[in-house]
Copies of this chain bind each other. A is one copy, B any other.
Amino acid sequence: MSEIDHDSHYTENVQEHLQKVQALLEKHALVESLAHRQEMPRNERHGLVETLLHKQHLNELREKLDSLHPADIAYILESLPIEQRLLVWDLVKAERDGEILIEVSDAVRETLIATMSRDELREAAEQLDTDEIADLAPDLPQAVMRDLFKSLSIEEREQLREAMSYPEDAVGALMDFDMVTIREDVTLEVVSRYLRRFDELPDHTDQLFVIDRDDVFKGTLPLNILLINEPEMEVAPLVIHETITLHPDDKADQAAQAFERYDLVSTPVVDEDGRLVGRVTVNTVVDFIRAESESDVLNLAGLREEEDIFASVWKSAQNRWTWLALNLCTAFFASRVIGAFENTIAKYVALATLMPIVAGIAGNSANQTTTIIIRALALGQISPSNARRLLYKELAISGFNGLVWGGVAGLFAYFLYKDTMLGLVMTSAMLLNLLLGAIVGMMIPLTLQKMGRDPAIGSSVMLTAITDSGGFFIFLGLATLFLIH
């Protein structure tokens, strides 16, 4: 037991593996640098000792890597700076390359693929299932894909074409073709004997798919049911017909919601004619959910994609440019709005100190509204009938916040500058800009959704643009009307 505990207790595991690998890499680097330092006056005996040491560390490292799960090796590769990463990648057994390439993040995969020859890439991809090859395909050179196609069987080619034909966000892109199918006119005993002929069942086989002669999907036989019933029973009466089925064209997002809602492990994918074409399993769905939530967070910060933390400055900068450039444009625009009121500010400098408050708080409040609306949209909770209701509610909240926080801000302005009118202008501007924020925070995601675009992408730039420029305009406009004589 203690052995199990030691070997497999996850929490320490991955970090420990990483540290072990790093320690070996450092020893290796030390020997390397010693060797280099003494290169000129070559001492033969020393050189030999170093080469041995050198080899020993690399061997130890290779053994360590052989003992690790592909996902752990992927993690280690992602956590290492580029030179060390490529050294480790060289030491990994070639027949594991494919599995590992599937596991690493897109950005890191690029750095690994860049070092591999056409033949190495083809061999790595050949170890994979067709649905996995399809995942890898966008990163592989055309020539490698051509080689691969030639090396596949007709059925596999068909599957690969099928898997590659769906957009990334469709069920077709999540499905695999590894499944156990049975007929319903046999006994459980026959099914059991059939299963015993397998070397292993496909991962995540929690149910067998029942099909007829024409591959038409009839229902499922959960292993659960197979196991608790007597072997003499026939399959037919045990088949579950009321099961969730997906179409390859369904949105992956909705498939994920189904897995979440109905606690599924696997689910059949069926085409328009009712034929079973594949299945989706929970591990793919977990990866999909994680990737989605990560890209949500990255998009909110204006990062186009996951960044390899060891990527070059140039590469990272590119990942961040679009966002900064967009924001700079909206900032220029807001700056011109202020510019239109230069005369007012010249007469009343206090306005310059207060205007960022008006813009900022409304931006924050509008962002809260948008976040809630985007979530409700994703869950399909917004219908034309309740959209109006929600708008009124958001307006009410903003109105309320406008009075409370606008009031506080008005008092702040009043106490600083002893000017009642300035306080009133401040409060009114806050109130109006918060209301503007509520309307925009609600309308932007709804409009993006209506246009068929992802409401989570780009909402926040537009929002800030409007609450900033709007805030400056409202505040300075009111001030011009009521404070400047």
Q: Which A residues are closer than 8 A to B by beta carbons?
A: 1-5, 7-11, 14-15, 18, 22, 69, 71-72, 75, 78-79, 81, 192, 195-196, 198-201, 203-206, 216-219, 223-225, 227-230, 241-247, 250-251, 254-255, 257-263, 265, 270, 274, 282-283, 285-287, 289-290, 292-294, 296-298, 300-303, 306-307, 309, 313, 316-317, 320-321, 323-325, 327-328, 331-332, 334-336, 338-339, 342, 345-346, 349-357, 359-361, 364-365, 367-368, 370-372, 375-376, 379-381, 383, 385-386, 389-390, 393, 396-397, 400-401, 405, 408-409, 412, 416, 464, 468, 472
Contacts and interface: CB of A to CB of B under 8 A. Distances in A.
Residue from A69, A223, A356, A464 whose CB has the most chain B CB atoms within 10 Å: A356
Residue from A14, A243, A250, A261 whose CB has the most chain B CB atoms within 10 Å: A261
A308 to B, nearest CB: 10
A301 B353 CA distance: 25
Contacts of A216: 1
Contact of A219 (B4, B204, B219, B290): B4
A410 to B, nearest CB: 12
Contacts of A335: 353-354, 356-357, 412
B254 A11 contact: yes
B75 A261 contact: yes
Contacts of A339: 350, 353, 416
B201 A228 contact: yes
A219 B3 CA distance: 11
Nearest to A285: B286
Contacts of A265: 204, 206, 265, 282
Contacts of A328: 357, 361, 405, 408-409
Binding site secondary structure of chain A = helix
Contact of A72 (B259, B261, B298, B306): B261
Contact of A324 (B301, B381, B405): B405
B228 A195 contact: yes
Nearest to A219: B4
A289 to B, nearest CB: 6
B376 A309 contact: yes
A368 B8 contact: no
B334 A217 contact: no
25 contacts: A4-B217, A4-B242, A8-B243, A22-B383, A22-B385, A71-B261, A78-B381, A81-B386, A81-B389, A195-B228, A206-B265, A282-B282, A303-B372, A309-B381, A316-B393, A320-B365, A323-B364, A323-B368, A327-B364, A331-B357, A331-B360, A331-B361, A332-B409, A332-B412, A352-B352
Nearest to A9: B245
Contacts of A296: 293, 297
A294 B224 contact: no
Given A5-B274, A75-B261, 5 more contacts: A71-B262, A201-B227, A298-B371, A328-B408, A345-B345
Nearest to A413: B335
A372 B309 contact: yes
Contacts of A346: 346, 349
A13 to B, nearest CB: 8
B254 A325 contact: no
A204 to B, nearest CB: 7
A352 to B, nearest CB: 4
A324 B7 contact: no
A259 B286 contact: yes
A316 B372 CA distance: 11
Nearest to A196: B228
A390 B332 contact: no
Contacts of A381: 78-79, 309
B400 A5 contact: no
A299 to B, nearest CB: 10
A241 to B, nearest CB: 6
Contacts of A283: 260, 263
Contacts of A258: 10
A368 B401 contact: no
